Amino acid sequence: MITDQQLERYARHVILDEVGEEGQEKLLASRVLVVGAGGLGAPALLYLAAAGIGQLDIVDDDTVDLTNLQRQVIHTTARVGTPKTESAATAIAALNGEVRVHSHDTRLSAGNALDLIGPCDLVIDGSDNFATRYLLNDACYLARTPLISGALLRFEGQLSTYRAWEGTPCYRCMFPTPPPPGAAPRCDEAGILGAVAGVLGTLQATEALKELLGLGESLAGHLLIYDALDTGFRRMTAKRNPDCALCGDVPTITDLSAHQA
């Protein structure tokens, strides 16, 4: 039962016919895993906490660096050198003390991915490398847990939702193999306009809330591309690949052993 204080805090949600008290109660009972408390994870975590997600699990093994603060808005100068999970938990507690935070100061791996995903209703991928994106895609497919994945570089970003067990494509359908080493530079090599991270991370939070509440049209089966220089969005339709190694007609990936290194 939602309390009077919660009714006041979430009043702008509750007055939406599409949300109401029942929808807000769903959010309060939800548990979301956010992988990466960086450029994407920072705004996503803040908006999910503000929305009243009951529990946020955060996975990140990095510490706050001064170079992060240009875009990773959940961190502060005073917390440079502290673990990102700890810094994010501090910010969430200041914003909404009702939200439970479970910090995992570790790197996502084939050995822990399913255990971390299992208790959660949804996963947000805010990672910055292809190995983690493929691992999360495979683990979420095996766990039948919706995945909202984003990526950033320079002035652009992309976003999609993956629920491939329902017949829509998975990440491997769209990107069967990672690019060759050096072909896709990281943000620390090519740069990123800081506010672009805010746009994509906030979109990830929006799509997460839609998924949890069952609202609107899902991004599953679509790839959304944002170009800040043109101030434009492109929404591309993607189809399931019947030859996909994970979700195809004859899958070759049936567990996470392929990710063991």
CATH of the domain at 79: 3.40.50.720
Nearest to residue 118, comparing CAs of 93, 147, 139?
A: 139
Tell me the per-residue pLDDT of 10-51, one tens digit each, with 9 for 90 and over.
999 999 999 999 999 999 999 999 999 999 999 999 999 999
Residue 150 lies in a domain: yes
Residue at 241 is within a domain: yes
Provide the pLDDT for residue 201.
Answer: 98
Question: Can you list the residues of the chain whose pLDDT is less than 70?
Answer: 182-187, 260-261
Residue 18 lies in a domain: no
Assigned domain for 56 exists = yes
What are the C-alpha distances in Å from 229 to residues 73, 185, 187, 200, 226? 22, 19, 17, 14, 9
* pLDDT score for 19: 97
Q: What per-residue confidence (pLDDT) applies to 182?
A: 65
Cα–Cα distance measured from residue 110 to residue 259, given in angstroms and rounded to the nearest whole number: 6
Tens of pLDDT along 89-113?
A: 999 999 999 999 999 999 999 999 9
pLDDT at residue 261, as a whole number = 47
Q: Is residue 104 part of a domain?
A: yes
pLDDT of residue 192: 92
Structure tokens at 170: 């998975």
Is residue 146 classed as helix, strand or coil in its secondary structure? Answer: coil
Instruction: List the one residue out of 57, 50, 56, 55 whose CA is nearest residue 6.
Output: 50
Q: Of 61, 60, 64, whose CA–CA distance to 41 is shortest? A: 60
Residue 13: inside a domain? no
4 within some domain:
no
Tally of domains in the chain? 1
Nearest to 212 by CA among 7, 46, 25, 38: 25
The predicted structure's pLDDT at residue 189? 73
Domain assignment of residue 17, yes or no = no
For 51, the domain range is 23-259
Token duo for residue 75: 């961190």
The answer to whether the beta carbons of residues 208 and 44 sit under 8 Å apart is yes
* pLDDT for position 107: 94
